[in-house]
Amino acid sequence: MRSRPLKVALLGCGVVGSEVARIMTTHADDLTARIGAPVELAGVAVRRPDRVREGISAELITTDATALVKRGDIDVVVEVIGGIEPARGLITTAFEHGASVVSANKALLAQEGAALHAAAEEHGRDLYYEAAVAGAIPLIRPLRESLAGDKVDRVLGIVNGTTNFILDKMDSTGAGYQEALDEATALGYAEADPTADVEGFDAAAKAAILAGIAFHTRVRLDDVYREGMTEVTAADFASARRMGCTIKLLAICERAADGASVTARVHPAMIPLTHPLASVREAYNAVFVEAEAAGRLMFYGPGAGGAPTASAVLGDLVAVCRNTLAGATGPGESAYTRLPVSPMGEVVTRYHISLDVADKPGVLAQVANVFADHGVSIDTVRQQGRDQGGVAASVEGGGGRREGGEASLVVVTHRASDAALTGTVEALRRLDTVRGVASIMRVEGE
């Protein structure tokens, strides 16, 4: 075993960074045995040097992150500051000065992954980022190594714990969105400004990373269709239950049926209660992977938090240190398929549409004609939580009546393209008899 320690520079010492430093200290002997050499914390770059950081020697603390990564004796830079800059510049500088990098930065990887991989390769260094997606859950490594001999067709996942907590609360207690968000905030699951989570930006970054790795192509954040979950209502959950479903905010990466393109998207969707993702509760994450030979796999665990994220960072740190000792590098970017990312319009799935319609004869026929005109096949039509009878009763045994001459129709379609569905909804809105489109939700996981 070599005695000169591998030197690690830690950029950022917040919730994750302090946990990384703590484990490096308390589990130093285990890390040494697993790596084959001691590993030493050589410097910690922070913004607020005066804050007390238990267990970290004061002389390791610096506010000059650039000088730290330029030192020249650093083997691995661990970047847990997040955001685009200064993280991007520091990582690039680290490669230039001979260090490998372990990052937990999903936003940066989603936006600049290709450039960072190129920089790593140019300098013969590693870029690992298991912690960037789904916290402690091993996902990047299984996708890029365990499934390296397989063909991934679909990745379907709950990759944001905050929104899963909120949706789980709405589902289990009947609470509305705001009430559930307030609880999530009070319990520390949601940040003061929850936008990145509830509007799906966080999940979209993860979807971009997962799609790129799964399909061996480049998928940027801008390629990911994104819809938040702030408009999901208690009524949507009631509708979902009637269909034997619940609602989750899903990141979905798919290979097109012809194999010639891929799609990546984030939006709330109904999934059957029998689907393994339906039972993922609270702030847990889970990712379902469908591969040609492997079949259906699921990876489940805590998707965030200091210790779980630190676990993923340290797993990468051990791997990068082993590679360093071996004079080798791990798998780099694999983007050889160069598959184009199709726009949302080409995504094919099922839809659950709630319409407020006039309660008079012929309405169902009108509505059904609009779907038919756009090539969208209807699976079922039914009443939504109103008295039996009305519009659709004579035709399909469903339909609902409101006392003031208005009724509610719920249409569930067979698989159709998003473009066809969008065209259908636009045409429905133009019908005099359609008073409003109460909600449109995709149905996944069937």
Q: Which contiguous run of DSSP H or E holds residue 419?
A: helix 418-430
Indicate which residue of 70, 206, 248, 360 is catalytic.
206
Residue range at the interface with its own copies (CB under 8 A); choices 226-234, 242-250, 255-263, 307-315: 307-315
Does the protein bind its own copies through residue 30 (CB under 8 A)? yes
Among 15, 298, 419, 438, binds its own copies (CB under 8 A): 298
The span from the CA of 219 to the CA of 107, in Å, is 13
Residue 295 tokens, joined: 């079949």
The span from the CA of 74 to the CA of 378, in Å, is 61
Q: Which contiguous run of DSSP H or E holds residue 240?
A: helix 234-242
Give burial (CB, 10 Å; 0-12/13-18/19+) of 198: buried
Q: Which is nearer to its own copies, 148 or 238 (CB)?
A: 148
Interaction mask 95-134, its own copies, x per CB under 8 A: -----------------------------------x----
Active site residue 206: yes
The span from the CA of 38 to the CA of 44, in Å, is 18
Residue range at the interface with its own copies (CB under 8 A); choices 144-152, 160-168, 388-396, 403-411: 144-152
Interaction mask 334-363, its own copies, x per CB under 8 A: x-xx--------------------------
DSSP character for 374?
Answer: T
Among 314, 376, 391, 443, binds its own copies (CB under 8 A): 314
The span from the CA of 200 to the CA of 157, in Å, is 13
| 3-state SS, residue 316 | helix
Residue 146 assigned as binding residue: no
Interaction mask 148-177, its own copies, x per CB under 8 A: xxxx--------------------------
Q: Which of 278, 279, 282, 274 is nearest to 302 (CA)?
A: 282
DSSP character for 142?
Answer: I
Q: Which of residues 264-293 bind its own copies (CB under 8 A)?
A: 276, 279, 291-293
Among 235, 243, 256, 294, binds its own copies (CB under 8 A): 294
Cβ–Cβ under 8 Å, residues 201 and 226: yes
- Binding stretches for its own copies (CB under 8 A): 19, 23, 27, 30-31, 33-34, 130, 136-138, 141-142, 145-151, 216, 276, 279, 291-302, 305, 307-308, 310-319, 322-323, 326-329, 331, 334, 336-337
